[in-house]
A = this chain, B = another copy of it.
Amino acid sequence: MKVLMCVPNVSEGRDQAKVDRLADLVRQQPGVKLIDLSADADHNRSVYSYLGEPQAVLAATKAFAEVVLETVDMTTHSGSHPRHGALDTVPFIPVGETTTEEAVAVAREFGRFIGDKGIPVYYYEDAATRPDRVSLVDVRKGEYEALQEKLKDPAWAPDEGPATFVPKTGAVQVAARFPLVAFNVNLRTDDRAIATRIAHAVRHINGGFRFVRAIGLELTGTGMVQVSMNLTNYTQTPIPRVMEAIRSEAARYGVLVAGSELVGPVPLGAIEEVVRHYLQIHDFSMSQTIEMNV
């Protein structure tokens, strides 16, 4: 089955009524299912996860975008999370049999729809039009506050829409990307330095696994610390390999893993690899389960 997931990030996380209205809007879209919603007042940002057939998701996202662009005002926005616009990021994520190319095609169609409204659009990740726009961090550098100047720079001409600063909406970042796995490992110590050292050992930027981003955190009040990670490609850098690397690094300090967590929707393929690794069932597929055959 062809399924596409969309995870728009909206620059509104304090007005609960507004957040809820957007969730209801998604629920009302035909052929689309809202599977996760998280709003954060400190970040002043909300994240919606929904899925369905690609064309249904595209139509739903257009309807969603129109309401966000009309009701969220960047001129009065503040929050601790980096952002470039009211509808800050719109990643389309292939699920099941959907290919990256198909996700890119939907992302581009959505980008043109936004551009046609006179709002600047940048493509990133697999939808990027040039190498210096692949990383969202690069695209969003300077944030909303720097956008007006940035749009005057020909190097930052938008991928869709005019090079015009629209104060109310800012710019929209549109991507196709592999599903992220948010994976956190808790350690039985209150020494945050150990979590930080292990995060550095496993993350790409410091020489670790190619598709791992990681930081060390303190879990206040629990006596534990956490290695908090995003695995950006779970097929190339699978969960068990990261888990065992952390276990081994922690053992150097005489520390054991207390537990771990997967945050938000996880691709089935990431779980299959856990079973393949630990049970050494080299060809395990979840289609072997009774429930997947109901």
Contacts and interface: CB of A to CB of B under 8 A. Distances in A.
A281 interface: yes
B280 A268 contact: no
Nearest to A53: B294
B281 A260 contact: yes
A78 B279 CA distance: 37
A274 interface: yes
Given A271-B275, A271-B286, A274-B274, A265 B293 contact: yes
A1 interface: yes
A54 to B, nearest CB: 13
A53 to B, nearest CB: 10
B290 A51 contact: yes
Contacts of A1: 294
Copies of this chain held together in the complex: 2
A224 to B, nearest CB: 12
A268 B293 contact: no
A30 to B, nearest CB: 15
Contacts of A223: none
Given A265-B288, A266-B288, A239 B279 contact: yes
B274 A289 contact: no
Interface in A223-262: 239-240, 243, 257-262
A9 to B, nearest CB: 17
Interface of A: 1, 3, 5, 33, 35, 51, 95-96, 179, 239-240, 243, 257-262, 264-268, 271, 274-275, 277-282, 284, 286, 288-294
8 contacts: A33-B293, A51-B290, A95-B290, A239-B279, A240-B278, A259-B281, A262-B281, A266-B289
Given A240-B278, A260-B281, 14 more contacts: A35-B293, A243-B279, A262-B279, A265-B289, A265-B293, A266-B289, A267-B290, A267-B291, A268-B290, A268-B292, A271-B275, A274-B279, A277-B278, A286-B291
